[in-house]
A and B are shown apart, each in its own frame.
Chain A
């Protein structure tokens, strides 16, 4: 199990460590002590929201504005939770609480893309969630500690997350999903790229896709 977890999580490490470092560098450049990067990555653990937070801190945003902006940016998580609901309900107590807290884009993608672990899925879900977060905390702490002085050749390493999403998408396509929801999603993506190119893209495109799917006739019940 430990080696399997590590191999599954490795592409996320390649993405989270350089992205976390970029976040840490940005935050300390605003004059915050290095450990604030670690604290935020432990307590918030949401990549895009933490980058947004640096901007909100710099702009002197109020708590209500910060709350609303973060909530809306992260609202796409609701769809992830809906998809893994039954699977996460098998986890007990704090384990379910932690796994839910740590449900990022990447952890969701891995869990949804490769399905349940045959022997011990509860341990797999919990271990993968914790391992992925540890990469993020490690990267942001390193970035904040090293500041602008790091010159590691990490440019482009974030592409591993694009590659991870693409590979997991191929895994899903192999299961022969209905083509219509994917075409609806492509259409939604095109519309949202044209009109909402910023942070609202994911929430808008997922919402349009879900509503679009609900409007399609359900072949299985027909």
Chain B
């Protein structure tokens, strides 16, 4: 067990390490961030990162045994379909999350 002062130093080091990753782009000289290649990449970065975050947040899904990732995949399909149809972000998120919670807490077990 560390003393309070040691834990504080530890927390400080983690805070600085995290802050560095967030402040670095603001310190990079503009001539490096405004060249053509970076702009090409930046244009599609939001869509790319959102796609990768979606995949990453599902990385612990078990596809090889019961329930074969069905709760995740069906709930995600509900979110996507509802959002394309109704265009209401809160509704899509609430419906998909609600379905996922009900399913992963075993409340649908009587149906399957």
Which residues in A have some Cβ–Cβ distance to B below 8 Å?
A: 7, 10-11, 14, 31-32, 36, 39-40, 43-46, 49-50, 53, 56-57, 63, 66-68, 70-71, 74-83, 85, 88-89, 100-101, 103, 105, 108-109, 112-113, 153, 155-173, 177-178, 181-182, 184-186, 188-189, 193, 197, 201-202, 205-206, 209-210, 213-214, 216, 218, 221
Contact = CB atoms under 8 A, between A and B. Distances in A.
Contact of A169 (B11, B47, B103): B47
Interface of B: 1-2, 7-26, 33, 36-38, 40-59, 72, 75-76, 79-80, 83-84, 89-90, 92-94, 96-97, 100-101, 103-105
A156 B96 CA distance: 11
A162 B83 CA distance: 14
Given A75-B21, A82-B38, A218-B40, A109 B50 contact: yes
Given A165-B53, A182-B44, A206-B48, A43 B22 contact: no
Contacts, number: 228
B37 to A, nearest CB: 5
Q: Which 7 A-B pairs have the closest CB atoms?
A: A81-B25, A112-B46, A181-B44, A156-B101, A172-B47, A70-B17, A169-B50
